[in-house]
A and B are shown apart, each in its own frame.
Chain A
Amino acid sequence: MNRIVQGLLLILAAFVSIGEAAAAEYPARPVQLMVAFPAGGGTDVAARILAAIAEKHLGQSIVVVNKGGAGGQVGWTEMARQKPDGYYLGFINLPALNTIILDPDRKATFKEDAFIPVINQVLDPGIIWLKADSPYKTLKDLIEAARRTPNKISAGTTGILSDDHLAILMMEEAAPGAIFRIVHLEGGAPQATAILGGHLDVAFDNVGGVVRRIRSGEVRALAVLDTRRSPFLPDVPTMPELGFPTVISSSTRGIAVPRGTPDAIVKRLQDVFRKAMEDPEHVRKMEEAGLAQRIMVGEEYIKYYRDLHAKAAKYTEWARTRPHK
């Protein structure tokens, strides 16, 4: 019996010392980068571009792993459970992550403090767009029409409690009296079909998904929901320019790690990914894909995350209690 116990203790000691050695020399093995959406989507494409470049700066391969489902909830649930040792990173999409946490029906098993935001890659501003031959030529036309005939103008989103949905509510708040008939589609493609087919009056989406259609001339944009004009659409006015400085909404994608990850590792990751994002090849590929890069790192990103969470809380609550649904 003694021999066996000794043997087991020896094995245990071996494992422990391996663990310690690993912590001392980060990264000692490949790192997993989780994308909470299926392969081929916007987040996935950007993640793979970034991973390929960041690998060189990190010194270890970065394996992109897709864990899609429930609008990201499956992947983020998985990440919240991982060890904070710097070997499991994940992309977080805001405000999708926020609304999942805030919606009590979703029963998320994690709170907003379950993750440490490390660095942001893409910021895709919201956009209001419609068919080129629509009678509403400016945002003012649209608002006035929505005021004259409340709950008649159909406004489409790409999902319940998506950033588009929250943006419509922000719009209604900033222009009292204007009430839209909110229609939820499942993603950009059905929304585009509905607009092109004349079933929807106006759509709220993000620049990245619509810019090509605008360039081709079949659709028009009324406004971009950002503080600065989009480099892809320099002719489209911003919300502050149009007199609605509070209606700012975007979808962002950045990297986060589980809570408890040591500062040293977080700093290392920030360093590595920032260099990768500033790499001209990354910039070029992002532009080709129509994705607007906006690097936010450290405190800036953490503040953005917290502010957005508070903002989302307000509109998520309102979405649930809105009488017209």
Chain B
Amino acid sequence: MTRGWQAAIVVLLVLFGVFAYESLQLSLRDAIGPGAGFFPFWLSVLGAVLALLLLAQLKLGRAIVGTGELTFDRAGLRNVTLVLAGVIVATALLELVGFRLAMLLLLIYLLAGLGVRNWLAMAIVAGAGSFGVYHVFYDLLKVPLPVGIFGF
């Protein structure tokens, strides 16, 4: 169980390192008081100290850790990657192909990928979610959602 936490701590340490480095490029003090880099730098240092402290607690088995574990099962992992991949692609294409098309495809992909077989319901939901939502926002609320290169 602690392996997940250890990995997370390593990631955090790297992150704090990056912040500390960047803050050193900025001034730490200026004429009146702390400069732009002052707080980020010392916060990164504090963060790194806390992270190491947590690591030490884990190693010594004394930490009252949360009930978290980084375990995955195949099916779950498949679903998560499926959803994530779909949403990332849809977002990347959002302004290219337009809201309506991107969301239509995303909704069909997600519903089918997660196991829905009722094609009619899927079609209705996908249509309402893409074209329906677009028109509610554009016509009623005057908030334009992305229109792609195809003109819609």
Chain A residues within 8 Å of B, Cβ to Cβ: 63, 65, 323-325
Contact = CB atoms under 8 A, between A and B. Distances in A.
Nearest to A64: B142
Contacts of A63: 144
7 contacts: A63-B144, A65-B144, A323-B31, A324-B31, A325-B30, A325-B31, A325-B32
Interface in B135-150: 144
Contacts of B31: 323-325
Interface string B23-37: 000000011100000
A202 to B, nearest CB: 19
Contacts of B144: 63, 65
A324 B31 CA distance: 7
B33 to A, nearest CB: 10
Nearest to A322: B31
Interface in B40-78: none
Nearest to A323: B31
A325 B30 CA distance: 9
Nearest to B26: A105
A63 B147 CA distance: 13
Interface of B: 30-32, 144
A186 B32 CA distance: 19
Contacts of A65: 144
A323 B32 CA distance: 10
A63 B139 CA distance: 12
A210 B30 CA distance: 33
Contacts of A323: 31
Nearest to B31: A325
A136 B144 CA distance: 50
A65 B145 CA distance: 10
A158 to B, nearest CB: 19
Nearest to A65: B144
Contacts of A325: 30-32
Q: What 3 A-B pairs have minimum CB-CB distances, sorted nearest first? A: A325-B31, A325-B32, A65-B144
Contacts of B32: 325
Contacts of B30: 325
Nearest to A181: B32
A323 B30 CA distance: 10
A2 to B, nearest CB: 27
Nearest to B151: A29
A206 B65 CA distance: 55
A65 B32 CA distance: 40
B23 to A, nearest CB: 15
B134 to A, nearest CB: 14
A63 B30 CA distance: 45
A161 to B, nearest CB: 15
A323 B31 CA distance: 8
A109 to B, nearest CB: 18
A324 B32 CA distance: 8
Nearest to B30: A325
B152 to A, nearest CB: 13
B145 to A, nearest CB: 11
A154 to B, nearest CB: 13
A311 to B, nearest CB: 25
A160 to B, nearest CB: 12
A32 to B, nearest CB: 9
B37 to A, nearest CB: 13
A150 to B, nearest CB: 15
A292 B112 CA distance: 57
A110 to B, nearest CB: 20
A65 B143 CA distance: 8
A324 B30 CA distance: 10
A325 B31 CA distance: 7
Nearest to A32: B144
A63 B144 CA distance: 9
Nearest to A29: B151
A325 B32 CA distance: 8
A63 B31 CA distance: 47
Nearest to A63: B144
A324 B144 CA distance: 46
A60 to B, nearest CB: 15
B31 to A, nearest CB: 5
B151 to A, nearest CB: 9
